[in-house]
Amino acid sequence: MGKFDAYIIPLKSLSAGNHTFEYQLNNDYFTKIDSPEVRKGNIKAQVIVKKTGSVFEITFNLEGNAILSCDRCLDDMEQPISCKENLCVKLGKDFSDEDEVVIVPEEEGEINIAWFLYEFIVLSIPIKHVHAPGKCNKAMSMTLRKHKARNINEEEDESLDESENLTDNEESGNDPRWDKLKDIFDND
Ligand SMILES: [Zn+2]
């Protein structure tokens, strides 16, 4: 038994119509995949195969959380994953996944989707992924920030760093809660 045998879909032997397969992609799966982007997670994958003649339209629905390293502080963070991807597979002579249609050798008649699932998860991760405001490892992000800010004024870098990640006005440096606090101190 190969370590990804559970992810083999026996295309050729499927009857015409829709077939649903479900997988729970947990830490065990990510450990086996052994790829740097995602090391842990818990994602539910629903895979629907629609067979029409020798064409297979495969729909992947992925929902759950991937554990990633935060861009700002490097600590683990939960990245929600929710995506839907499609793959068209045909039976043919030699295996190929270069084009939009994946060709699976007719003799084998099956496809292992373990790596496709992983690729779709990675594709759905935003380029910049960071903790929610205030949830970063403060000591670590401070150290990293100082490192980055060697040539820049540190305060300036801090406001830059905050505003580029957040659309929320509250965190853009003009935090209204701060202003309130300042008012209180001023009145004292
Ligand atoms: Zn963080």
Task: Flag whether pLDDT at 186 surpasses 70.
Answer: no
Helix H segments across 9-77? 27-33
**What pTM was computed for the model?**
0.74
pLDDT computed for residue 166 by the predictor? 47
Residue that is written with structure tokens 């297979």 in the block: 56
What is the crossing angle of helices 154-165 and 138-148, to 10°?
120
Q: What distance in angstroms lies between residue 142's CA and the mean position of ligand 1's atoms?
A: 11
Extract the tokens encoding 81.
């994953």
Q: What distance in angstroms lies between residue 96's CA and the mean position of ligand 1's atoms?
A: 39
Q: What distance in angstroms lies between residue 71's CA and the mean position of ligand 1's atoms?
A: 6
More confident residue, 184 or 170: 184
Give 114-138 pLDDT, tens digit per residue: 999 999 999 999 999 999 999 999 8
**Which secondary-structure segment (H or E) carries 115?**
helix 114-123
Q: What distance in angstroms lies between residue 140's CA and the mean position of ligand 1's atoms?
A: 9
Q: What distance in angstroms lies between residue 78's CA and the mean position of ligand 1's atoms?
A: 10
What are the sequence ranges of the domains in the chain?
Answer: 5-123, 149-187
Q: What distance in angstroms lies between residue 85's CA and the mean position of ligand 1's atoms?
A: 29
